[in-house]
Amino acid sequence: MNNSNNDLLDRLEKLNAIGVALSAERDTNRTLEMILEAAKSLTNADGGTLYRVTDDHRLKFEILRNDTLKIAMGGTTGTPIPFDPLPLYDAKGNPNNSMVVANAVLKDVTINIEDAYSAEGFDFSGTRNFDQKTGYRSKSFLTIPMKNHENEIIGVLQLINAKQRKTGEIIPFSHADQRLTESLASQAAISLTNRLLINQLEELFESFIKLINVAIDEKSPYTGGHCERVPVLTMMLAEAASAASEGPLKDFRMTEQDRKELKIAALMHDCGKVTTPVHVVDKATKLHTLFDRIHLIDTRFEILKRDAEIELLRAKVQHLEQGNRDVPVALEHAFQQRLRQLDDDREFLRKCNLGGEFMSPDLQERVDDIARNTWVNEKGETAFFLSTDEVQNLKIAKGTLTDEERQIINYHIVATIKMLEQLPWPKHLTNVPEYAGGHHERMDGKGYPKGLMREQMTIQARSMAVADIFEALTAKDRPYKPGKTLTESLKILGFMKKENHIDPDLFDIFIREKVYLKYAEEFLDPEQIDEVDVTKIPGFSG
């Protein structure tokens, strides 16, 4: 076999290897760079440009390379290409056939030019100006349109100055160069189209996820912010864990695919809330349903005060009828004492209605005492002052939800898992249901819905659990509480670590790497960002 055949065989093998590499590449910019660099390598070209056809019929510079002039622009270089896109048509709509790259697209042909300076039918004035400014000599050109699987031209590959491999002399692009580059352009166009389609599908999927969160937001503004913030905090913590060079998590690393998987899971972690009744999600006070029923109780107090006044007046009339003009002071005193008691009880129930971190048994017993009082209702019947449901709600020990309502809220995670497990996840996203479904589990197995132990959960799911709690503690848009300061929130988080509620290693990274501060600077109000003394955070190992 002669040297020419050996060279062709080598280049065919290289072409096959390039095709495999292009299929595996997931980044669009790197794909574009690989296409141009591969074409340069196959033809031993000194430079080249890759253009993309835009929707407004122009050719956009994507990648530009020239070895002699040491030019590398576009793609992953970070250096933008300063040239405007080239029009395929002029201002009057006439085809721009005088420009080689435009001609190749408009006529769907490969154009192989031996010497630009002597070529006829094309305008190379721009090339000559470039050469004059740089001292370069543009000579041989190979311009090939790139067509996708639907036979649409999506780009143009233009190579410049083929070099003789041994001497470096500028030579024309050979017929073999042309055929090999045409084959590469065909493979590259399909690979690029596939990558763009995948990107579009991924963007569509993420947009659909955000649409679900918008629906939750529209349903309840309090959960909408949560759906936005938890993914950000989850990624901050997971990135900090992935960057750890020492400690228990030093071997944990995330690839770009891992990051994408976790981001999607975090975005969808509360999608099941679309099934939760809005009056439960937005329950700002203990007596809130469609409206805050504390106002009904206020009315009852006013009725009792009116009844007390009527009772006083009747007693006065009775004394007057008996000829006693001096009404006993005790009656007036008892009346005023009754009013004070009613006002005190009303204020007490109003405070109970707001909810809080803890309600003592003594306070709950006082609710029972008030409930046993009687009043005459709208039917003229004597009834207990508070109904059984009102008593149950006002005696809620923590927060504003009854046990039944908390079960309804908790069901959202079951709904989330059910929804996510119905989707045909691709291989690189198969962990989304597990990550999203684990953010209410605890390290001691007392969480829900599955009661998983720490060792049964991935680091990603544990990260989301920490993020979910910290966001809830600091959130300032909840209807039932103000947002806590950093110190208050971290102390509560520290106690949760000591109680084996959250992952201890992630908690330490959360504090040590100041993930909480990075999050706070983006999402919290200035008055919430206090000076944190980490030595006073419970459970922090330093």
Q: What is the mean pLDDT of residues 393-403?
A: 84
Euclidean distance between CA atoms 254 and 265, whole angstroms: 15
**Which pLDDT value is given to residue 510?**
96
Task: With a cut of 70, say whether residue 378 has pLDDT above it.
Answer: yes
At residue 1 the predicted structure's pLDDT band, cuts being 50, 70 and 90, is: very low
SS (H, E, C) 123-139: CCHHHHHHHHHHCCCCC
Both tokens of residue 43? 């033809």
Task: With a cut of 60, say whether residue 120 has pLDDT above it.
Answer: yes
Q: Terminus-to-terminus CA distance in the chain, angstroms? A: 70
Which distant-in-sequence residues (6+ apart) come within 8 Å of 151 by Cβ? Answer: none
**CB 460, CB 435: distance < 8 Å:** yes
Q: What is the mean pLDDT of residues 401-427?
A: 85
Q: What is the mean pLDDT of residues 106-112?
A: 95
Q: What is the mean pLDDT of residues 197-212?
A: 82
| Percent of the chain predicted with pLDDT > 90 | 50
Task: With a cut of 90, say whether residue 186 has pLDDT above it.
Answer: no
At residue 23 the predicted structure's pLDDT band, cuts being 50, 70 and 90, is: low
**Which pLDDT value is given to residue 209?**
82
Task: With a cut of 80, say whether residue 128 has pLDDT above it.
Answer: yes
The 10s digit of each residue's pLDDT in 481-499 is: 678 999 999 999 999 999 9
Residue environment code for 323-352, b if the CB has 16+ CB neighbours within 10 A, otherwise e: eeeeeeeeeeeebeebbeebeebbeebeeb
The 10s digit of each residue's pLDDT in 249-297 is: 999 999 999 999 999 999 988 888 877 777 776 777 777 776 778 888 8
Task: With a cut of 80, say whether residue 213 has pLDDT above it.
Answer: no
DSSP at 84 = P
At residue 319 the predicted structure's pLDDT band, cuts being 50, 70 and 90, is: confident
The 10s digit of each residue's pLDDT in 29-61 is: 787 788 888 889 889 999 999 999 998 999 999
